[in-house]
A and B are shown apart, each in its own frame.
Chain A
Amino acid sequence: MSDRTVQTGIKAAEDASGYWTANIRIIVISLIIWALVSFGFGILLRPMLSGISVGGTDLGFWFAQQGSILVFLALIFFYAWRMNKLDREYGVEED
């Protein structure tokens, strides 16, 4: 085994773990937002948002019935876009 193949092997292993770490980071950030809008604004933090009124009720009600769904949509499309970019950065995309 030449030095060069050993180095490429190490490089590939580092890349693979770097790619996975970056992926986990994006997932964690996305899930924090996911939980914040639904369990947070929609349920637990609703009393804190009660001062902000929206169409005859408060912001928490809007998040529980509509807002969180819109944020979920944005999150999934953001993740798809960001991960497809990350695939190319690390050269692990499909052919």
Chain B
Amino acid sequence: MDQFTLNLLFVGASFALYIGIAIWARAGSTSEFYAAGRGVHPVTNGMATAADWMSAASFISMAGLIAFTGYDNSSFLMGWTGGYVLLALLLAPYLRKFGKFTVSEFIGDRFYSPTARLVAVICLIVASTTYVIGQMTGVGVAFGRFLEISNTSGLLIGACVVFAYAVFGGMKGVTYTQVAQYVVLIMAYTIPAVFISLQLTGTPIPALGLFSETTATGGEGSVYLLTKLDQIVTDLGFASYTEAHKDNLNMVLFTLSLMIGTAGLPHVIMRFFTVPKVSDARWSAGWALVFIALLYLTAPAVGAMARLNITELMWPNGTNGEAVSVEQIESDARYDWMATWQKTGLLDWEDKNGDGRIQYYNDKSDAMAEKAAANGWEGNELTNFNRDILVLANPEIASLPGWVIGLVAAGGLAAALSTAAGLLLAISSAVSHDLLKGQLTPDMSEKAELMSARIAMAVAIGVATILGLNPPGFAAQTVALAFGLAAASIFPALMMGIFSKRVNNVGAVSGMLAGLGFTLIYIFLHKGWLFIAGTNSFPDTVDGSLFGIQSTAIGAVGALINFAVAYGVSLATKDTPQEIKDLVESVRVPAGAGVAVDH
């Protein structure tokens, strides 16, 4: 059986599994459809949250970004897990006690203002739409590879599948489908990692393999995997893998933005509204992180080991020997993945100096210029290696069996589709339920509400697809921008709503608008207005940026502005009424928490 059929088989089988479970669970109880999680054990709920949370950014993109930069991109690892600490300590138990279903409802009630609810809805739509753009980038890569077509065609087909998937809707609500998605996703991520870790270090646990001695070829006795990696990448003029090359300010702010954003994204927070008890909300966050950590502890190993494998494939005789020949790439089965990925347009090479070999090195390094001149190299000949293909290509790069490659394709699609569909549902319910029914046309019929939800979904996916064709960055970088926006707008409002009785309606609204406005404008100034390339006023680099802070890291500053403005304005305006102070008091203690009620 060829690889294409095998991929199709795995993807098809996993989809049949999700749909089967959705139908089975639906037949059991329709009321659980809307309140997924109620009456579900915290461990099960944690697993479903993990599936919901880990998207194309975590699965497809993150390890690739770590692989090509090393230590500097540790921010993704700390940021996307550290946010759960904020969520568990500062938000989850109190929002559960409050007992409503949506984030904007809490903000509307706590700040006794329909305007606050409206502003919260706008913040949610902006952050979620940006998030979907990142997902679509990942969907395009996954579909492009597994249907063996160009990235653009893959993206367009993927968009249709995501739309159908989200309209079908049941996928999202049924907790057990998400449990199945988690199982597929984590197996697809860890099984190839275990194989590769065994190949390179003899350790079956990739997280430990990363810090073990390597058994791979290399000559002079045993060396640590990371030591060896550092050595071969610096030999080729690249920055060392384990050292820091980014300034501390940007790294801290970027990590902080991802952490705060995690605790401010609606589709994650929503899961904690519906657990049976306040104490369960506390445990659920912990279990969710356990299941997330299984992937996040593996990811740095995947990145480092893939970088080592790729470099060794390009330099089969060592970094001081001869580079791989074009003939070998075309004939040796270990290089088949290069031709496959070339079809997607995300990988390319060119024998610039016509010596029949492909030299992969950093042609921007001054130290390499001399060596290149001496050897007649005319620039890096591995001309394109998109970071987002690394995880999906990883089993092929390591020459793993065909079924592992099929499994990874299924896992990548599960990650991208579940999160994209979940976000589209969040956007459509925000538009139809919170915006139209809650604000503009309160007497609209159920049918009209459903129709407007579908239209909102179609518009959102249309926008995300168009912008996804020319994304503002790799999948995980685009998603990082969404986190910055959520960090600057939603998280501070929620936190002040619980921890301060003094912050009032005017304060919260001004805070959210200031935080979102500042962050969005700063991002657009560097990434282009509405992410359209070429319309940016400042280059998107640390040195060229407006305040010396990269656009992906600005969310943390936006959050500080939100806090400061909200508090300042509140002090200058009227104190909160007594019933709001009582509401805050009651949210702070678990006793008397009823079942979450629908709006």
A-side residues, CB < 8 A to B, are 16, 19-20, 23, 27, 30-31, 34, 38-39, 42-44, 46, 54-58, 61-62, 64-66, 68-70, 72-73, 75-77, 79-80, 83-84, 87, 91-94
Q: How many residues of B contact A (CB 8 A)?
A: 51
Q: Judge whether A73 and B300 touch: CB under 8 Å.
A: no
- 11 residue pairs bridging A and B, Cβ less than 8 Å apart: A23-B588, A61-B71, A61-B74, A64-B78, A66-B300, A69-B77, A69-B81, A73-B290, A84-B282, A92-B590, A94-B590
Cβ B286 vs Cβ A76 within 8 A: yes
B89, A39: Cβ atoms under 8 Å? no
B272-322 interface (Cβ within 8 A of A): 277-279, 282-283, 285-286, 289-290, 293, 296-297, 300
B286 lies within 8 A of A93 (CB): no
Q: Which of B186-194, B248-256, B335-343, B572-580 is the contact stretch? A: B248-256
Interface with A: B20-28, B204-212, B399-407, B452-460, which one? Answer: B204-212
Query: What residues of B have a CB within 8 angstroms of the CB of A72 in the complex?
Result: 81-82, 84-85, 289
Expressed in whole angstroms, the minimum distance between the Cβ of A35 and any Cβ of chain B is 9
Q: Are A44 and B74 closer than 8 Å at their CB atoms? A: no
**10 tightest Cβ-Cβ pairs between the two chains A and B:** A56-B224, A55-B211, A64-B74, A56-B226, A80-B282, A76-B286, A56-B227, A65-B300, A57-B242, A92-B591
In the bound complex, CA of A30 to CA of B87 (Å): 13
Cα A92 to Cα B279 with chains together (Å): 11
Q: Are B224 and A68 in touch, CB under 8 angstroms? A: no
- A43 & B255 in contact (Cβ 8 Å cutoff): yes
A56–B308 alpha-carbon span in the complex (Å): 15
Contacts A16-B589, A56-B225, A56-B227 given: A76-B252 contact, CB under 8 Å?
no
Interface of A is mostly: helix
B93 within 8 Å of A (CB atoms):
yes
Question: Inside 8 A of B225's CB, which chain A residues have their CB?
Answer: 55-56
Cβ contact within 8 Å between A34 and B85? yes
Contacts of B242 in A (CB 8 A): 56-58, 61
| 8 A Cβ contacts from B226-266 to A | 226-228, 230, 242, 244, 248, 251-252, 255-256
Residues on B with beta carbons closer than 8 Å to the beta carbon of A58? 242
> Is B585 at the interface (CB under 8 A from chain A)?
yes
Partner of B283, one of A54, A65, A80, A94: A80
Instruction: Given A39-B252, A43-B248, answer yes or no on A55-B212 (Cβ-Cβ < 8 Å).
Output: yes
A40 to B592, CA, bound (A): 39
In the complex, what distance in Å separates the CA atom of A68 from the CA atom of B590? Answer: 29
Is B226 within 8 A of A94, CB to CB? no
Of the candidates B74, B210, B290, B590, the one whose C-beta lies within 8 Å of that of A87 is B590
Contact residues of B between 541 and 590, Cβ < 8 Å to A: 585, 588-590
Which residues of chain B have C-beta atoms less than 8 A from A69's C-beta?
Answer: 77-78, 81, 293, 296-297
Of B225, B227, B242, the most chain A CB neighbours within 10 A belong to B242
Complex Cα–Cα for A92 and B370 (A): 72
Cβ-based interface call for B8 (8 A): no
Residues of A contacting B585 in the complex (Cβ-Cβ under 8 angstroms): 16
